Structure formats: structure tokens, C-alpha cells
Amino acid sequence: MTTAAEIMHRGAECVGENETLRDAAHKMRDLGVGALPVCGQDDRLHGIITDRDIVIKCLAEDKDPAQCRAGEIAGGTPFCVDAGVDVDEVLKRMMRHRVKRMPVIEEHRLVGMISEADLARNLPEDKLARLVESIKSGSADRVT
């Protein structure tokens, strides 16, 4: 059994929920990523924001990224997996929620991230193709 911890990117960095979207964008640029987990003062995962979220929920709404806070656009319950979860379960959850990235937690703390690229290195092509199709089409097919 391959676990989430074995395929994840370790050391995922959070943006604080009270940091600005400008700060988040700079961090994304510096890290070369398109998404960041949002963590609270309690160092726990509170959401995730993407570069697209910044464009759609801030810039396109004529808001100032130096004033908008990461926690404002990372609403809702974040989807995540426990580090010990089997990679097939990770795939199922990503398909169910139609997400390209999945935060990995251990003892309620962020320990890494799993992306489509991580799955591509660790899954057969047919399973990965189903994930891509479910995200693209908006349908969450079952993984078998």
C-alpha cells in the first residue's frame, strides 16, 4: 500500500489567514506554485487559495490585493487527507471534490501537498486519466 505521505511534496508552506492576497501572490511566485494552503493562528489548515481565486475573487471584483486577506477567499471546509491514507483513497477524494491539489495533514497539522503530478508518478495512466476527466467534465466517476 502506498500512502499519501509517500507521494506528497513535503514542507508545504501556508499563507496565514490574515496575510494579504498580495503576500500570497508573492509567496506563490517565489515558491513556483499555483496554490497555497491557508493556515490560521492555530497553525491548522483553514482552506486553500489558488492563483485563479486571486484573479476571480479579488482582481475581477475590483478589490485591492493589498487589502484582501487570504482567509476571506479561502472559505468553506478545506478538503484534505490524512498522511496515512492509501493513494487510491487520495485519488477518490480528488475526483469526488474535483480538485487538482490535496493538502495532507498529520495530527491536524499540514505536512504536505499532493498534486496531479505526484499522482502521475505513482498511479497507472488509466486512473490518472479518470481524475483529469472528472475535473475537466465536472463528473466524479468511481475509481476501480
Q: Could you report the per-residue pLDDT of 109-140, keeping only the tens digit for each?
A: 889 999 888 888 877 777 767 777 776 665 44
- 66 pLDDT tier (thresholds 50, 70, 90): very high
String of DSSP letters for 65-119: TTT-BHHHHS-SPPP-EETTSBHHHHHHHHHHHT-SEEEEEETTEEEEEEEHHHH
Rounded to two decimals, what is the model's pTM? Answer: 0.79
Residues 6+ apart with CB under 8 A from 123: 87, 91
Going along the chain from its start, the domains and CATH numbers come out as 4-137 (3.10.580.10)
pLDDT of residue 102: 92
